[in-house]
Structure 1
Amino acid sequence: MSLPVHLVPTLSGVAEGSVVEVTGDEAHHAVAVRRLAVGEQVVLTDGCGVSVTGEVESTGKRVFTVTVSSVDVAEPATPRITVVQALPKGERGELAVEVLTEIGVAEIIPWAASRSVAVWRGERAVKSHAKWVSTAREAAKQARRSWFPVVAPLATTAQVTALVRDADLAVVLHEEGPASFASLSVPAEGSIVVVVGPEGGISPEELAAFAEAGVQGVKLGDEVLRTSTAGVAAVAALLSRTARWA
């Protein structure tokens, strides 16, 4: 049985025998909801590559402490994969974030594409972004990731175009894309960016801007995938060509 994972702000300087205190909402959920008990083994991570395993020494209303028995430091996975996700409608945005986190994406960038049905503005933008961040955090704990993904602020097409210019490989999913994943030269290291369009498709103007920036149009297959699941299919196809899935 896998040990429960809890996120802490930092594990800097922590070594075997150290006592780490967990407080706030993370501790409340562990103690009050999950009924964490003294003597139980848990994993703590800072989401930035450091994870520790240890035994629960004490619990309180919104606090528990862990005595560390082992420390693990993980390097960031390479190639680093970023997914630019056009805003889906309804709760499909959180679904996209969840599965992309589970598969190991390093960064998720919400994109205000011209044909996106969903619109983030004002208070709604703040709440929607917070939901994506929370979803990524919980999915990363479930997936037992040492490095949690970054959920960037909402990006415009111009910002996405600037981003893809610096990538070692950038692809945009499109039903008329001339390339296939089998034909791509996937870098062993560096950065990969995958652009996923909205339900209404990517506009000709956006496609032209991406092409000018060096983005390759790629077709996933004859089947039509939803925007919330297309990204994870594309990332899986790319990872199968790297040492990460060797």
Structure 2
Amino acid sequence: MSALYFREDLESVDEGARLSLTGPEAKHAATVNRTRPGQSVMIGNGRGLIATGEVLVATSTELTIEVETVQHVASPSPVVTLVQALAKGDRDELAIQASTELGVDRVVPWAAARSVSRWEGAKIAKSRDRWATIVREAAKQSIRAWVPSVGELSSTKAVAELSGSSRVLVLEPDATTRLSDIVVETGPDARPLVLVVGPEGGIAPEELGLLTAAGAELVRLGTTVLRTSTAGPAALAVLNGALGRW
């Protein structure tokens, strides 16, 4: 399969046109992926547009293709958001990377009560930018036309408020309802879905109370307890089946 590169300022392109990349993307193509003239690659904008064509120029400063096909991929519906609690080490980053590969449409960092990791001051913007880079690279690797958006750092109150516009599913090992048993809506008018994953120590009782009072549903995956880095991706796999995406 052809490699995918992103050019965010790309709005439109016609078949037969020449399309170029410069900067880090071009350097990565030439030096890391060892892209050479004659190969076929894809250039997308991360918002549904993907152009495929033969490489004409491949240097550390420029990648140029002659566009053969142009594809416009509709945005997914319903939108699936992962609210991922901040976690120690790189566990939250592993979660959003795998979730992107599995098709999540949006990720939101959550400062849960039991989160060991904390984003404060200048670290908030820096960490959010790092999440954006992680999902962008994961989208490239998995050849996704749409790059997931990264929301602002959210409090538990802000997460609870998502129930006003979305169906919020909170992963909780002690829940009586299994995620695989719920019925989800599909189609363009389906209500957005939000998966909420807690930190290493689990979601605090007062947070569960706030979330359920707002209308969130508690669901479990099975009889075992998964790490915060694997719970979200596992839940997404279940939803992909229920939504008919897999």
TM-score (norm 2): 0.94
Structure 2: how far apart are the matches of 1:216 and 1:156? 18
Counterpart residue type for residue 233 of structure 1: A
> SS of the counterpart of 2:154?
coil
Structure 2: how far apart are the matches of 1:60 and 1:234? 41
Q: CA RMSD in A?
A: 1.4
In the alignment, what sits opposite 2:210?
209
Structure 2: how far apart are the matches of 1:79 and 1:46? 21
232-241 or 113-122, which moves further after superposition?
A: 232-241
Q: Deviations over 1:48-89 (max 9, x none)?
A: 001010111123442221110001111112221001000011
In the alignment, what sits opposite 2:20?
21
Give how far 1:106 is off.
Answer: 0.3
137-146 or 123-132, which moves further after superposition?
A: 123-132
Give how far 1:157 is off.
Answer: 1.1
In the alignment, what sits opposite 1:173?
171
Q: Deviations over 1:147-189 (max 9, x none)?
A: 111111211111111122211x211011221311233121113
In the alignment, what sits opposite 2:222?
221
128-137 or 77-86, which moves further after superposition?
A: 128-137
Structure 1: how far apart are the matches of 2:54 and 2:243? 36
In the alignment, what sits opposite 1:185?
183
209-218 or 172-181, which moves further after superposition?
A: 172-181
Structure 1 residue 42 and structure 2 residue 29: aligned?
no
Q: Is the 8 A contact 2:170 2:219 kept in 1?
A: yes
In the alignment, what sits opposite 2:147?
148
> SS of the counterpart of 1:172?
strand
Structure 2: how far apart are the matches of 1:192 and 1:214? 13
Structure 1: how far apart are the matches of 2:61 and 2:234? 40
Counterpart residue type for residue 66 of structure 2: T
Counterpart residue type for residue 46 of structure 1: N
Counterpart residue type for residue 29 of structure 1: H
Q: Is the 8 A contact 2:28 2:60 kept in 1?
A: no
Structure 2: how far apart are the matches of 1:198 and 1:150? 21
Structure 1: how far apart are the matches of 2:11 and 2:129? 26
**Structure 1: runs of 5+ lacking an equivalent:** none
Structure 1: how far apart are the matches of 2:18 and 2:115? 48
Q: Deviations over 1:117-156 (max 9, x none)?
A: 1111123333322221111111101111001111112111
Percent identical pairs in the alignment equals: 41
Count residues in correspondence.
243
Q: Is the 8 A contact 1:171 1:193 kept in 2?
A: yes
Q: Is the 8 A contact 1:93 1:132 kept in 2?
A: no
Give how far 1:13 is off.
Answer: 2.6
